[in-house]
């Protein structure tokens, strides 16, 4: 019997998850931009729903947030590890 990992199987996140994860970490957009190597403008536009970054940028944003201590789960939630 296998157990399912509570994190998403793909590296995609929603704008709401991104904002919530940053809030949990008390992380500003500049720190996320530096940690993910994605421009702050892309992060701002993503969080405001103006654009969806490419798959690689979304994965980089998510990876940076996970490395800082956030866990993504249930395809819509976030929590601290």
Which domains are present in the chain? 15-73 (1.10.260.40)
pTM of the model: 0.84
Would you state the pLDDT for residue 27? 98
pLDDT at 74: 73
pLDDT of residue 73: 86
Say what the pLDDT of residue 10 is: 55
Q: What is the pLDDT of residue 1?
A: 36
Counting as low any pLDDT under 70, the low residues of the chain are 1-11
- Give the pLDDT confidence score for residue 7 in this predicted structure: 42
| CA pair distance 54, 3, nearest whole angstrom | 30
Cβ–Cβ < 8 Å for 73, 79: yes
CA geometry: angle at 37 spanning 25 and 76, to 5°?
A: 45
């Amino acid at each position: 019997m296998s157990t399912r990992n509570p994190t998403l199987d793909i590296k995609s996140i929603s704008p709401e998850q991104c904002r919530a994860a940053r809030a949990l970490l008390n992380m500003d957009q500049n720190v996320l931009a530096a940690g993910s190597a994605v421009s702050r403008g892309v992060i701002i536009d993503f969080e405001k729903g103006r654009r969806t970054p490419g798959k690689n940028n979304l994965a980089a944003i998510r990876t940076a947030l996970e490395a800082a201590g956030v866990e993504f789960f249930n395809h819509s939630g976030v929590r601290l590890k």
